[in-house]
Amino acid sequence: MVSKRRAIFNSIRNTTDITFLTETKFKKSDLPIYKREWGAGLLASCTPEVRAQAGVALLFRKGLAVTFLGDGNDRNGRVVWALVEINTKKLLIIGVYAPSQGDDPTFFKDDVFPILSKVDYDHVIIGGDWNLGMDEDLDY
């Protein structure tokens, strides 16, 4: 797993400014290792189980002109967020790894949308794996 994680980190290290990772299966106790390997801003939400499941992370490219103003996560490895300032604009960035059962409107209502009223921002970006079918005929 270490070589797979390093390969992923290396493949995106210089190609994207901000990356959403889902189903990371990161263990909270190992977050300092992951942060050291990434070498820049890394925020994550991990499941509390010993055998890590779920997980979502936001990775910020080293050298990106960003100021971190706040962050948070849930306790289930499903949501992580960061309030950052880029070019004088406050961006709220939310990473989501929705439950794999899919089409669970309570997840978004209870765990994602309340973040929108917690902080002041100019723009919002929500990304990740929503596990949600938008069109029954096309998505299932």
Residue pLDDT, tens place only, 3-51:
787 888 888 888 899 999 999 999 889 999 999 999 889 999 998 877 7
User: Does the structure show a pLDDT above 80 at 101?
Assistant: no
> How do the domains of the chain map onto residue ranges?
2-139
Three-state secondary structure call for residue 131: coil
State the pLDDT at residue 44: 96
Residue pLDDT, tens place only, 75-85:
899 999 999 99
What would be the CATH architecture of the domain defined by 2-139? 4-Layer Sandwich (3.60)
State the pLDDT at residue 14: 83
Task: Write down the residue that tokens 């309570």 correspond to.
Answer: 106
β-partners of residue 90 are 85
Q: What is the model's pTM?
A: 0.89
Three-state secondary structure call for residue 6: helix
State the pLDDT at residue 10: 85
Buried b (16+ CB within 10 A) or exposed e, 58-71: bbbbeeeebeeeee
User: Does the structure show a pLDDT above 80 at 92?
Assistant: yes
The closest alpha carbon to 57, from 93, 13, 91, belongs to 93
